[in-house]
């Protein structure tokens, strides 16, 4: 299984971190918000989603999910880095990429060693590329959303969920 780093532990990053962990990957999730990290380390999400707290606690029990404010440490040994930071809208309606750019700079400062492959949001900062990336991800998110609020206890649901997660990891690692 892969060693992954998630930059940003909001609505997207935390869910990805939990999903990847529960599929057997080693995940280091990072955020600049120390209060959020402290809460997550205790098994308490910083926002409400049905079943999220239970899933977070289950992922933490695996010992494959860690949280910290040190992005460089998390990314240094990662095989793939997922940037899940905010992209708020500006007054003119365009996307503000300041958080993405800051994450890219931080990851770029990593000393030689890690073969960091960075997700599309981090690799291409152009808005048209971000729109295409959102369209590509929409299919996977739709599959995961279909499972929202349900326990993946049945063999078919677990398999479907696992396949969706593995497609994301394989695409990022270039194993398609």
* Position 114 pLDDT exceeds 80: no
For residue 142, the model assigns a pLDDT of 64
pLDDT band per the 50, 70, 90 thresholds, residue 41: very high
Listing from the earlier edge strand, what are the strands of the sheet with 3-7?
65-68, 26-30, 3-7, 80-83, 117-118
For residue 154, the model assigns a pLDDT of 60
Q: What is the dihedral of CA 109, 107, 57, 150, to 10 degrees?
A: 180
* Position 10 pLDDT exceeds 70: yes
* Position 22 pLDDT exceeds 60: yes
pLDDT digits (tens, 9 = 90+) for 43-95: 999 998 888 999 999 999 999 999 999 988 888 888 888 888 888 888 988 88
CATH superfamily of 3-173: NAD(P)-binding Rossmann-like Domain (3.40.50.720)
**Structural domain boundaries in the chain:** 3-173
């Amino acid at each position: 299984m892969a060693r992954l780093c998630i930059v940003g532990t909001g609505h997207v990053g935390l869910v990805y971190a939990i999903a990847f962990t529960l599929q057997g990957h080693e995940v280091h999730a990072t955020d600049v918000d120390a209060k959020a990290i402290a809460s997550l380390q205790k098994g308490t999400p910083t926002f409400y989603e049905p079943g999220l707290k239970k899933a977070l606690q289950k992922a933490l029990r695996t010992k494959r999910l860690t949280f910290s404010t040190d992005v460089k440490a998390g990314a240094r040994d990662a095989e793939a880095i997922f940037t899940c930071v905010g992209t708020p809208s500006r007054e003119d309606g365009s996307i503000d990429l300041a958080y993405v750019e800051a994450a890219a700079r931080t990851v770029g400062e990593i000393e030689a060693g890690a073969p960091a492959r960075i997700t599309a949001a981090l690799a291409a900062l152009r808005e048209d590329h971000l729109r295409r990336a959102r369209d590509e991800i929409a299919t996977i998110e739709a599959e995961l959303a279909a499972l929202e609020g349900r326990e993946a206890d049945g063999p078919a649901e677990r398999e479907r969920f696992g396949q969706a997660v593995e497609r994301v990891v394989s695409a990022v690692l270039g194993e398609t």
